[in-house]
Structure 1
Amino acid sequence: MSVALIILAAGKGTRMKSDLPKVLHPIAGAPMLHHAMQTGAALDPARTIVVAGHGADQVQAAALAHDPAVEVVIQEEQLGTGHAVDQVRAALDGFEGDVVVLFGDTPFLQPETLTRMVQARRTHDVVVLGFDIAAVQPRYGRLVMDGDRLVKIVEYKDATEDERGIRFTNSGLIACEAKTLFALLSEVTNNNASGEYYLTAVPELANAKGLKVTAIKCDEAETLGIDSRTDLAGADAIFQARARAELLDSGVTMMAPDTVYLSFDTVIGRDALIEPNVVFGPAVTVESGATIRAFSHLEGCHVSRGAIVGPYARLRPGAELAEDVRVGNFVEIKNATLAEGAKVNHLSYIGDASVGAASNIGAGTITCNYDGVMKHRTEIGARAFIGSNTMLVAPVSVGDEAMTGSGSVITSDVDDGALAIARAPQVEKPGMARKLFELLKAKKARQSRGS
């Protein structure tokens, strides 16, 4: 049966104290919303609908950036979770299948849990996701069970003493056949202290109609919601710990795992070595056997087998390093390809460029790629040698096995095998240094007396 995924993302998140909608605050370099969408995608949903409200334009843009096929429905007034889901009624009119409701601020839900919810839906009309709490907490609604039947969800403030002692609590997630869900939502009222329409009313209404209602259990950590900056920091720490453990288990060596920061989509192959204090931004792939040395920062790049990066290197989006490339300390690579065995060992900027196989880029080299309006490319051939402190003023090319003299400013193409030297002639004036120093010292002395 087809599945429609509804992700609730309309809340402001007042406790975040931010102009940014809560679901757009990042965990491991990606908005919380993207984490929820990525988990939901494991169900291969026929439809994915995000309900936006506060900061709707920003939420919509973020959702579409992650999945261009996503649909966004606006909840003009935030009148509760039941009201939020009901905003999707028109969009799913005529949809034949199940609806699974997720929250955009619950980033750790596992795909396997969603799969179990959908499987339980095959034998029940309504399925709720719950978890056991270790100690009594007034924050959560209680799931009142009779065997495997979920009788109702009761909020802590409305619960009896016996109900407050229940450890099985509500996550807020629900799965239900689409027509059944919207029929039940039509009967939900806002007759409560908050004047809101709650999704939690659906199970009790379903029971009253003789429908089969149940709840399945997951680990509490999966249901962690993010309501504050403290929660956000804690969630990021949880993600990092899990991601590091997974990499270590897969055969990656990290000398000081707690100092390595990973993104939600970092890919590192087995036998790679990651030294301390490395930051991986989004969209980084490091192949097996590569080494990333200490204090390096990588984003939007690909590092091939046997390459060595750092220490103190920066790889920016579009950096493509082939096998056995060397990128050393205080080197920045951006939108550039380095072919097999190329070396840029220190103090250089290579941007909007290609560097051929086995070429050596001397210290202090800069590809001058920006004229103030447009970006231009530099092409360096194979086995070329670029002398230290060379300025390559793009667009320009240096041929195979060509060489530039140290301190050159290269503004014209260099042919294969040629040596290019482009620097002003050295002029020497005998005795002038001593005279200049004497003049400067005398001037300083006069200024000191005057002060």
Structure 2
Amino acid sequence: MAESRDIPDHLNEKDALAVTAPRPLAVVILAAGQGTRMKSGTHKVLHPIAGRPMLLHLLASVADLLPERQVVVVGAGREQVEKAVEGSGVAIAVQEQQLGTGHAVAQAHDALAGFAGDVLILYGDVPLVSGATMKAMLDRLSRGDEPRAVVLGFRPEDAAAYGRIIADGQGIIEKMVEFKDASEAERAVTLCNSGLMAVRASDLFVLLDQIGNNNAAGEYYLPDIIMLPGANSAVIETEAWEVAGVNSRAELAGVEAVWQDRRRAEAMREGVTLVAPQTVFFAHDTVLGRDVTVEPNVVFGPGVTIADNVVIHAFSHLEGATVASGADIGPYARLRPGADIGPKAKVGNFVEIKKARLDEGAKVNHLSYIGDASVGAAANIGAGTITCNYDGFFKYKTQIGAGAFIGSNSALVAPATIGDGAIVAAGSVVTKPVPADALCLVRPQQESKPGWAAAFRTRMRERKAKA
């Protein structure tokens, strides 16, 4: 993280966020861009990073700062954004015409009516900015010299067409200029404008009323409020990855890669072994205990919690699942939502578990589907076993008792109950309850017809010869 966040050394990031801001906070997130380069029917800010839409990443980071108001400014695709934030207390403002970032922020005026405090201006397609960086901006805004605004700057490897910030050694901004309007000397400056800004509500809309659109694009630029006559503004810096924007599928993949790399490093710092880190993909909410080993090509979808001392073998996919201490998963296992794997349980190769509980020490080792079920402690499910949980209209549950043994290639037609210690013979189709400690045998009597196979082959060869 950047050193300029002004977080004291004795506070970690979580502690720093717990320090209450001196003034109420409102957040304005700009999301009115057309997103045409994404070539998608999905609103740009709703494309996911680590399984969560970019906009919701931002709102999750903002939540740590306890904002009093939150406004998302949208243009096209308003209905999608409204649905995504429904019930979260986020207000929607609409920018009917795309007249620049200053004009976009101005659309939040009514939603912020009567608000007195600080306003944090963010971008819906810049999803990785952290709560700690946001707080550092607000802290700088509240410092004794009380700048008019605080801008978040960064120094990319390639400054390209970013707007430039010219500042003195104390971070006081002397000039901000868009690349299109910058001189050659200004373009040589490496400090760039991320677009993120903190400003007092009492100043914001007064300043916006004063800016014009006399520039190469004919737009109302939000950064222009910095250069209006009056009080000074300040810049603080962060690392370039934190303010990476997404305007195309390639940039989306790039931001995903940054997020994944940082999450992998965090996991390993916290005691997880990643055998081939670059092949493991996490979701935004993946929880991993200590001494977990994750082999190559494992994917975590949203909603996965892994306890200590679990091994997840190669090519497994987990989503919406809980795995208890000492369990062993895979290889080539799929845990779907509702999978609850108990301590020291085993889910083996090409096994799919959905909405099912495996108690301690239960084993489903090979080529099986266990859905809408409970499997008792130390039960053993043979290869090729399936729970037939769906009749085309409704789902039904299968209960397998502790210590039960289900023979290979069995079909348990739900609703089904297999008692504790019962044995189901291989190849059985179970349609009735099986009592505890009973043997269930459902197959026709075996019959052998001597010489039949040889005679069959002779007949078929003769028929083929005449064909």
TM norm structure 2: 0.90
Task: Output the CA distance in 2 between the equivalents of 1:444 and 1:217.
Answer: 82
Partner SS state of residue 258, structure 2: helix
**Aligned mates of 2:166, 2:381 — CA distance in 1:** 69
- Give the aligned partner of residue 278 of structure 1: 298
Q: Distance in 1 between matches of 2:463 and 2:46?
A: 60
Q: Which of 427, 432, 436 matches 1:412?
A: 432
Q: Distance in 2 between matches of 1:29 and 1:63?
A: 16
Query: Mapping of 1:24-423 within 5 angstroms?
Result: 24-64=46-86, 68-122=88-142, 123-134=146-157, 137-146=159-168, 147-205=170-228, 208=229, 210-423=230-443
Q: How big is each residue's C-alpha offset from its partner over 1:385-432, in whole Å with a ceiling of 9 and x where there is no partner?
A: 111111111111112222211111111122222222222333444433
d(CA) in 2 for partners of 1:50 and 1:419? Answer: 63
Let me know the Cα RMSD of the aligned residues: 1.9
Tell me how far apart the structure 1 counterparts of residues 363 and 224 of structure 2 sit (CA, whole Å).
64
Partner letter of residue 445 of structure 1? A
Distance 1:121 1:169 in 2: 19
Checking the alignment, whether the CA contact within 8 Å between 1:52 and 1:60 is kept in structure 2 is: no
Counterpart CA distance in 2 for 1:316 and 1:25 is: 22
Kindly provide the CA deviation profile for residues 285-322 of structure 1, in whole angstroms up to 9, marking residues without a partner as x: 11110000111111111111100000111111111111
Distance 1:392 1:133, change over 3 A: closer
**Contact map agreement 1:11 1:21 (CA 8 A) in 2:** no
Q: How far 1:329 moved relative to its partner?
A: 0.5
Distance in 1 between the 2:360 and 2:74 partners? 47
Q: Partner of 2:13 in structure 1?
A: none
| Separation in structure 1 between the aligned mates of residue 68 and residue 194 of structure 2, nearest angstrom | 24
Give, in angstroms, the shift of residue 19 of structure 1.
2.6
SS in 2 for 1:184: helix
Give the aligned residue type for 2:189.
I
- For residues 410 and 211 of structure 1, the distance between their equivalents in structure 2, rounded to whole angstroms, comes to 80
CA contact (8 A) 2:181 2:215 kept: no
Q: Write the letter of the residue equivalent to 1:187.
A: Q
State the distance in 2 between where 1:43 and 1:240 align.
24
What is the rounded CA distance, in whole Å, between the counterparts of 1:237 and 1:420 in structure 2? Answer: 52
1:11 and 2:25 aligned: no
In 2, distance between residues paired with 1:283 and 1:417?
37
On the 8 A contact 1:145/1:152 being kept in 2, the answer is: yes
Letter of the structure 1 residue corresponding to residue 177 of structure 2: V
The residue type equivalent to 1:329 in the other structure is: N
Contact 2:241 / 2:258 at 8 angstroms: preserved in 1?
no
CA distance, structure 2, for counterparts of residue 3 and residue 440 of structure 1: 85
Match for 1:140: what amino acid?
Y
What is the Cα deviation at residue 138 of structure 1? 4.2
CA–CA distance in 2 between the matches of 1:423 and 1:55?
59
| Counterparts of 1:443 and 1:79, CA distance in 2 | 81
SS of structure 2 residue aligned to 1:295: coil
Cα shift at 1:56? 2.2
TM-superposition CA deviations, 1:117-174 (whole Å, max 9, x none): 0111213331111123455x34111123355432442112222333222222211001
Report % sequence identity: 53
Please tell me the residue identity of whatever aligns with 1:5.
Answer: V
Number of aligned residue pairs: give it. 441
Output one character per residue of 1:33-53: Cα deviation in whole Å (capped at 9) or x when no partner: 222222222222222222222
- 1:8 is paired with a residue of what secondary structure? strand
- Indicate yes or no: 2:45 matched with 1:23: yes
- Find the aligned partners of 2:156 and 2:345 in 1 and give their Cα distance: 51
CA offset digits 1:221-268 (Å, max 9, x no partner): 211112222222222222221111111111111111122122222211
CA contact (8 A) 2:342 2:361 kept: yes
Q: What is the rounded CA distance, in whole Å, between the counterparts of 1:420 and 1:437 in structure 2?
A: 36
Amino acid at match of 1:34: L
Question: Which residue identity lines up with residue 458 of structure 2 in the other structure?
Answer: E
The Cα shift of 1:77 comes to 2.7
C-alpha deviation, 1:441, in angstroms: 2.3
Residues 152-161 or 341-350, more deviating: 152-161
Alpha-carbon distance change, 287 to 76 in structure 1, aligned in 2, over 3 angstroms: same
Query: Does the CA-based 8 Å contact 1:142-1:154 persist in structure 2?
Result: yes
Does structure 1 retain, via aligned residues, the 8 Å contact 2:180–2:216?
no
Contact map agreement 2:137 2:152 (CA 8 A) in 1: yes
Letter in 2 for 1:51: V
Deviates more, 1:188-197 or 1:103-112: 188-197
User: For residues 167 and 431 of structure 1, do their structure 2 counterparts lie closer, same or farther at Cα, with a shift above 3 Å needed?
Assistant: same
